[in-house]
Structure 1
Amino acid sequence: MVDFKKLNGRPKLKEGRRTNFINVRFTDVEYKEIADLEQQLGVSKTELIRMRILTDAKKVVINSKELIKNLDGVGAELGRIGNNINQLAKHANILKLQGQLSPLVIKKFNELFEEYIMVQQTLEAALRSIIRAMGL
């Protein structure tokens, strides 16, 4: 006869076993917020609370899929802006060769380009702060 080993489930942990329990109460609004985060991030409520409390308090728990999707959109928009700037510069060079480039057009282009550079610098600073918040 074959001797079958009795199955007792998962082996007992000797180290790292969680034996302490904390009972916490939340308002309906707080609980809904936690449940929403649980669904968005794909982690359990327990793991979410554990991450928020035990990890570095400055780190932020984020939905990486949503972040990547939004950053992809920002990158695409920056590409379109760069394309527009190149088209405007080409058009300005053609007008300059024809002697039809107005100083007013040059002034307006320079103002818009300076504004674009400020927006790009703000975006770079925001991306750096996101990276720092993620703890990378």
Structure 2
Amino acid sequence: MRYKGRSPLVSGKRIKKIDVRFTQEEFELILQMEKSSGMKKADLIRRKLLLDGERLLMDSKAVMNGMDGIGLELSKAGNNVNQLARYANILNKDGLLSAVIVDRFLLELRKYNKIKMELERLMRKLIRLLSS
């Protein structure tokens, strides 16, 4: 009589192996996670690394370039706001402050705030990525 077990896998067969060493504390944490999740260690590590770990991967060069670009624009806008404020104060003292100057000042201030909000959004995203 022929034994009928599980048929051989045609695709998806795991043939590659990675050896990893853990400290005693790390290993105990893995054992606790294994016990609480009901999953085998290999499945638990595979899931954490391949599914949950994807959130941890980020293109740090792209993030830094983005932050540098935003920082440069923020600095330019801040300089423009300061120059316009100084100019507006001089004109105001002489009684020559016009609506055009005030409108330009408000335009630069809005641009500055938009860039600042984008920088804050990027920072929150980075913090979420690092803390998850």
TM-score calculated relative to the size of structure 2: 0.52
Partner of 2:90: 94
Partner of 2:121: 125
Partners of 2:57 and 2:81 in 1: CA distance: 37
More helix by share: 2
Opposite residue 127 of structure 2, the aligned amino acid is I
Partner of 2:110: 114
Opposite residue 53 of structure 1, the aligned amino acid is L
Partner of 1:82: 78
Q: Decide whether aligned partners of structure 1 residues 122 and 133 sit closer, same or farther in structure 2, where only a CA change above 3 A counts.
A: same
1:22 and 2:19 matched: no
Q: Decide whether aligned partners of structure 1 residues 116 and 78 sit closer, same or farther in structure 2, where only a CA change above 3 A counts.
A: closer
Count of residue pairs the alignment pairs up: 91
Unaligned runs of 5+ in 2: 1-12, 17-45
C-alpha contact 1:59 1:133 (8 A) present in aligned 2:
yes
Match of 2:55 among 53, 59, 68: 59
Q: Decide whether aligned partners of structure 1 residues 74 and 86 sit closer, same or farther in structure 2, where only a CA change above 3 A counts.
A: same
Query: C-alpha displacement at 1:105, in angstroms?
Result: 2.8
Unaligned runs of 5+ in 1: 1-20, 25-48
Q: Decide whether aligned partners of structure 1 residues 132 and 84 sit closer, same or farther in structure 2, where only a CA change above 3 A counts.
A: same
TM-score calculated relative to the size of structure 1: 0.50
Partners of 1:105 and 1:53 in 2: CA distance: 56
Q: Percent identity?
A: 34
Moved over 6 A (4+): none
